[in-house]
Structure 1
Amino acid sequence: MSLANISDYTDWNESETAYADAYDETLSAPIQTFLICLYTITAIVSLCGNVTAIWVLLVGKRSSRELRIFLINLSMSDITMALFSIPFTYTDFMLNRWIFPPLFCPFVQFMQLCSVFVSVYTLTVIGIDR
């Protein structure tokens, strides 16, 4: 091993250590625990609430058929948001880096944008229909 290789390794190792130390000091353990609990509860409530809404809209017959279809579409969009935005956003926030496979990043971003567009356009169509 030459001296140049050792020097390169030392510089890389020091920069990695400094990089890791900078992110270790972002949030204290109690704040991290609180945020993990908060995001987990938010995701669970979102999933349960939207699945319940879909079930009620499919079983119930009190509203018009078109409105039920729009509301089911809106709930599906919210479920997509809960599945693809909440877990990945707080993981990225807590660790300050993407820990998932690199090819998964564009897919998650696409699903997040798609669910936002579906929500906005569904609400627009409901407003126009009313």
Structure 2
Amino acid sequence: MKRQIAFAASSLVIVLITACSSVPSAPTANSPAQAKAGVLVTPEGEKLYVFKKDPAGKSSCVRDCLKPYRPLFSTPDDKSVGDYTSIERPDGMSQWAYKGKALYTCPVSKVPAGAPEKVVKAAEKKAADCAKGLQGDWDIAKS
């Protein structure tokens, strides 16, 4: 709870500072993502993806489309920061978008050293599913 209040307060400060500035700025530390070598990643370093069939400002990826990809959720309190906006999904949840394109993660399990073979195989399958998506309807999100 304290974390959410601190995040909301810091987001408000950024919005106020941005509103008072006439010079556009790069995404801040409170942005949902950042560019690394031209690729958008979460603050935790996860690559972000876009669904080619999503129209601008909307997310049309539901049900089976969300396997193995996951929306990069935002909260109702999140405010737009630079090119990042919060859009409403068909299920009523909020999701981050970059330049109008909805953002998704493809969580690949990190496998600790000495993990059982079953855990390793499950992580390998998730990684393969993400890679397979890039041959079809998905792209890596780029800045």
- TM > 0.5 between the two? no
| More strand as a share of residues | 2
TM-score, scaled to structure 2: 0.28
TM-score, scaled to structure 1: 0.30
**Is the radius of gyration larger for structure 1 or structure 2?**
1
| More helix as a share of residues | 1
